[in-house]
Protein backbone atom coordinates (compact mmCIF):
# COMPACT_ATOMS: atom_id res chain seq x y z
CA UNK A 1 0.00 0.00 0.00
CA UNK A 2 1.25 3.46 -0.80
CA UNK A 3 2.04 5.76 2.09
CA UNK A 4 -0.10 8.78 2.92
CA UNK A 5 0.90 11.93 1.15
CA UNK A 6 0.12 15.62 1.50
CA UNK A 7 -1.04 16.99 -1.82
CA UNK A 8 -2.40 20.29 -3.13
CA UNK A 9 -5.37 20.38 -5.47
CA UNK A 10 -5.62 22.31 -8.68
CA UNK A 11 -8.50 24.76 -8.17
CA UNK A 12 -9.69 25.85 -11.58
CA UNK A 13 -12.89 27.98 -11.77
CA UNK A 14 -15.50 27.26 -14.44
CA UNK A 15 -18.86 28.78 -15.38
CA UNK A 16 -20.60 25.46 -14.67
CA UNK A 17 -19.07 25.41 -11.19
CA UNK A 18 -20.52 28.82 -10.36
CA UNK A 19 -23.99 27.86 -11.63
CA UNK A 20 -23.90 24.59 -9.71
CA UNK A 21 -22.92 26.12 -6.39
CA UNK A 22 -25.33 29.06 -6.71
CA UNK A 23 -28.11 26.57 -7.31
CA UNK A 24 -27.03 24.38 -4.41
CA UNK A 25 -26.75 27.32 -2.03
CA UNK A 26 -29.96 29.02 -3.14
CA UNK A 27 -31.60 28.72 0.26
CA UNK A 28 -28.59 30.21 2.04
CA UNK A 29 -28.20 33.11 -0.40
CA UNK A 30 -31.90 34.04 -0.18
CA UNK A 31 -31.94 34.16 3.65
CA UNK A 32 -33.11 37.55 4.91
CA UNK A 33 -30.43 39.79 6.47
CA UNK A 34 -32.54 40.15 9.63
CA UNK A 35 -32.78 36.39 10.15
CA UNK A 36 -29.09 35.88 9.40
CA UNK A 37 -28.02 38.65 11.79
CA UNK A 38 -30.22 37.25 14.56
CA UNK A 39 -28.72 33.80 14.13
CA UNK A 40 -25.16 35.13 14.19
CA UNK A 41 -25.91 37.27 17.26
CA UNK A 42 -27.39 34.29 19.12
CA UNK A 43 -24.42 32.08 18.24
CA UNK A 44 -21.83 34.73 19.09
CA UNK A 45 -23.22 35.46 22.56
CA UNK A 46 -24.46 31.90 23.24
CA UNK A 47 -28.02 33.01 23.94
CA UNK A 48 -30.06 30.35 25.76
CA UNK A 49 -32.89 28.86 23.71
CA UNK A 50 -35.54 29.91 26.25
CA UNK A 51 -34.49 33.57 26.09
CA UNK A 52 -34.16 33.46 22.30
CA UNK A 53 -37.65 31.95 21.95
CA UNK A 54 -39.14 34.85 23.92
CA UNK A 55 -37.30 37.40 21.77
CA UNK A 56 -38.42 35.69 18.55
CA UNK A 57 -42.07 35.72 19.63
CA UNK A 58 -41.83 39.48 20.23
CA UNK A 59 -40.10 40.14 16.91
CA UNK A 60 -42.56 38.00 14.99
CA UNK A 61 -45.33 40.53 15.67
CA UNK A 62 -43.48 43.02 13.46
CA UNK A 63 -41.42 40.65 11.29
CA UNK A 64 -43.63 37.65 10.34
CA UNK A 65 -40.82 35.98 8.35
CA UNK A 66 -38.80 35.49 11.56
CA UNK A 67 -39.29 31.95 12.96
CA UNK A 68 -40.94 31.63 16.37
CA UNK A 69 -38.64 28.84 17.54
CA UNK A 70 -34.91 29.10 18.21
CA UNK A 71 -34.24 25.64 16.76
CA UNK A 72 -35.59 26.77 13.39
CA UNK A 73 -33.54 29.97 13.48
CA UNK A 74 -30.29 28.26 14.40
CA UNK A 75 -30.49 25.21 12.18
CA UNK A 76 -28.28 25.09 9.10
CA UNK A 77 -29.61 24.13 5.68
CA UNK A 78 -30.34 20.39 5.61
CA UNK A 79 -31.11 19.90 1.91
CA UNK A 80 -28.17 17.57 1.47
CA UNK A 81 -28.07 14.75 -1.05
CA UNK A 82 -26.29 11.46 -0.45
CA UNK A 83 -24.69 10.35 -3.70
CA UNK A 84 -23.86 6.69 -4.30
CA UNK A 85 -20.55 6.12 -6.06
CA UNK A 86 -18.44 3.06 -6.87
CA UNK A 87 -16.43 3.31 -3.64
CA UNK A 88 -19.39 4.00 -1.32
CA UNK A 89 -21.45 7.11 -0.58
CA UNK A 90 -20.61 10.82 -0.60
CA UNK A 91 -22.46 13.64 1.12
CA UNK A 92 -21.68 17.33 0.54
CA UNK A 93 -22.73 19.87 3.19
CA UNK A 94 -21.00 22.93 1.74
CA UNK A 95 -18.50 25.56 2.88
CA UNK A 96 -20.73 28.65 2.70
CA UNK A 97 -23.52 26.95 4.64
CA UNK A 98 -21.09 26.34 7.49
CA UNK A 99 -19.49 29.78 7.30
CA UNK A 100 -22.90 31.46 7.43
CA UNK A 101 -23.40 29.91 10.88
CA UNK A 102 -20.23 31.56 12.21
CA UNK A 103 -19.72 35.14 13.46
CA UNK A 104 -17.24 35.86 10.67
CA UNK A 105 -16.84 39.56 11.41
CA UNK A 106 -15.55 38.66 14.88
CA UNK A 107 -13.39 35.79 13.64
CA UNK A 108 -12.01 37.74 10.68
CA UNK A 109 -11.61 41.43 11.69
CA UNK A 110 -9.27 42.04 8.73
CA UNK A 111 -12.06 41.18 6.28
CA UNK A 112 -10.31 38.03 5.04
CA UNK A 113 -11.40 34.47 5.85
CA UNK A 114 -8.36 32.22 6.20
CA UNK A 115 -9.77 28.76 5.57
CA UNK A 116 -7.89 25.64 6.65
CA UNK A 117 -8.92 22.25 5.24
CA UNK A 118 -7.94 18.80 6.48
CA UNK A 119 -8.86 15.42 5.00
CA UNK A 120 -8.08 12.18 6.79
CA UNK A 121 -9.81 8.84 7.20
CA UNK A 122 -10.83 6.77 10.18
CA UNK A 123 -12.38 3.32 10.62
CA UNK A 124 -15.92 3.27 12.02
CA UNK A 125 -16.06 -0.26 13.45
CA UNK A 126 -13.46 -2.83 14.48
CA UNK A 127 -15.50 -5.61 12.88
CA UNK A 128 -16.07 -3.82 9.56
CA UNK A 129 -14.00 -2.46 6.67
CA UNK A 130 -16.21 0.63 6.40
CA UNK A 131 -14.15 3.83 6.47
CA UNK A 132 -15.24 7.41 7.09
CA UNK A 133 -13.46 10.24 5.23
CA UNK A 134 -14.57 13.77 6.22
CA UNK A 135 -13.40 17.06 4.69
CA UNK A 136 -13.02 19.30 7.73
CA UNK A 137 -12.82 23.08 7.62
CA UNK A 138 -11.60 25.61 10.18
CA UNK A 139 -11.39 29.40 10.10
CA UNK A 140 -7.92 30.43 11.27
CA UNK A 141 -8.38 33.20 13.81
CA UNK A 142 -7.02 34.69 17.03
CA UNK A 143 -10.51 34.00 18.40
CA UNK A 144 -11.35 30.38 19.24
CA UNK A 145 -13.01 28.67 16.30
CA UNK A 146 -14.40 25.15 15.94
CA UNK A 147 -13.96 22.82 12.94
CA UNK A 148 -16.90 22.02 10.69
CA UNK A 149 -17.65 19.27 8.17
CA UNK A 150 -17.94 20.31 4.52
CA UNK A 151 -18.27 16.80 3.07
CA UNK A 152 -17.84 13.16 3.95
CA UNK A 153 -17.36 9.81 2.26
CA UNK A 154 -18.31 6.43 3.67
CA UNK A 155 -17.42 3.10 2.12
CA UNK A 156 -15.25 0.00 2.22
CA UNK A 157 -12.86 1.63 -0.26
CA UNK A 158 -11.09 4.97 -0.12
CA UNK A 159 -12.66 7.73 -2.27
CA UNK A 160 -11.16 8.79 -5.57
CA UNK A 161 -10.35 12.42 -6.25
CA UNK A 162 -12.96 12.94 -8.97
CA UNK A 163 -16.00 11.97 -6.92
CA UNK A 164 -14.80 13.16 -3.52
CA UNK A 165 -13.43 16.64 -4.24
CA UNK A 166 -15.58 17.75 -7.18
CA UNK A 167 -18.17 19.83 -5.29
CA UNK A 168 -15.58 21.09 -2.82
CA UNK A 169 -13.28 22.41 -5.56
CA UNK A 170 -16.19 24.12 -7.33
CA UNK A 171 -17.32 25.91 -4.20
CA UNK A 172 -13.83 26.97 -3.15
CA UNK A 173 -13.37 28.59 -6.55
CA UNK A 174 -16.69 30.41 -6.27
CA UNK A 175 -15.95 31.73 -2.77
CA UNK A 176 -12.37 32.75 -3.58
CA UNK A 177 -13.67 34.69 -6.59
CA UNK A 178 -16.77 36.27 -5.01
CA UNK A 179 -16.22 36.23 -1.25
CA UNK A 180 -19.06 35.87 1.24
CA UNK A 181 -21.39 38.51 2.67
CA UNK A 182 -22.49 38.98 6.25
CA UNK A 183 -22.52 42.55 7.63
CA UNK A 184 -20.06 43.31 4.86
CA UNK A 185 -18.19 41.40 2.19
CA UNK A 186 -15.35 39.17 3.32
CA UNK A 187 -12.78 37.67 0.98
CA UNK A 188 -11.84 34.02 1.31
CA UNK A 189 -8.37 32.54 1.02
CA UNK A 190 -7.51 28.84 1.16
CA UNK A 191 -4.78 29.15 3.75
CA UNK A 192 -3.93 25.52 4.45
CA UNK A 193 -4.85 22.28 2.69
CA UNK A 194 -3.76 18.90 4.03
CA UNK A 195 -5.03 15.79 2.26
CA UNK A 196 -4.07 12.45 3.76
CA UNK A 197 -4.97 9.93 1.06
CA UNK A 198 -2.90 7.11 -0.45
CA UNK A 199 -0.88 8.24 -3.46
CA UNK A 200 -2.70 5.90 -5.85
CA UNK A 201 -6.04 7.45 -4.82
CA UNK A 202 -4.89 10.92 -5.83
What is the rounded distance in angstroms from the CA atom of residue 162 to the CA atom of residue 133? 14
CA distances to 15, 62, 80, 154, 182 from 20, rounded to whole Å, are 9, 35, 14, 23, 22
The confidence score (pLDDT) of residue 197 equals 65
- Which residues have C-beta within 8 Å of that of residue 16, sequence separation ≥ 6? none
Q: Which residues of 132-150 are buried (b: 16+ CB within 10 A; e: fewer)?
A: ebbbbbbbebeeebeebeb
The model carries a pTM of 0.59
CA distances to 47, 103, 139, 152 from 111, rounded to whole Å, are 25, 12, 12, 29
The confidence score (pLDDT) of residue 23 equals 45
The confidence score (pLDDT) of residue 198 equals 53
Per-residue pLDDT of the chain (202 residues; tens, 9 = 90+): 434 444 444 444 344 444 444 444 443 334 577 887 888 888 878 888 889 989 988 987 787 667 777 877 876 445 556 777 778 888 888 898 888 888 888 889 999 999 999 998 877 777 778 888 899 999 999 888 889 999 988 888 888 787 788 889 999 998 999 888 877 889 999 998 888 865 545 4
What is the rounded distance in angstroms from the CA atom of residue 186 to the CA atom of residue 181? 6
The confidence score (pLDDT) of residue 55 equals 93
What is the rounded distance in angstroms from the CA atom of residue 117 to the CA atom of residue 130? 23
Amino acid sequence: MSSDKEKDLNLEPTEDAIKSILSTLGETIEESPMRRDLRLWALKYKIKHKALNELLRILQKTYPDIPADSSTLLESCRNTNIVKIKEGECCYFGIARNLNNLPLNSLCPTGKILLCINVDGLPLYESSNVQFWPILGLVQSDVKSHPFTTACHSGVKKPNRESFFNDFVKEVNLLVENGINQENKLNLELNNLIVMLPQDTL
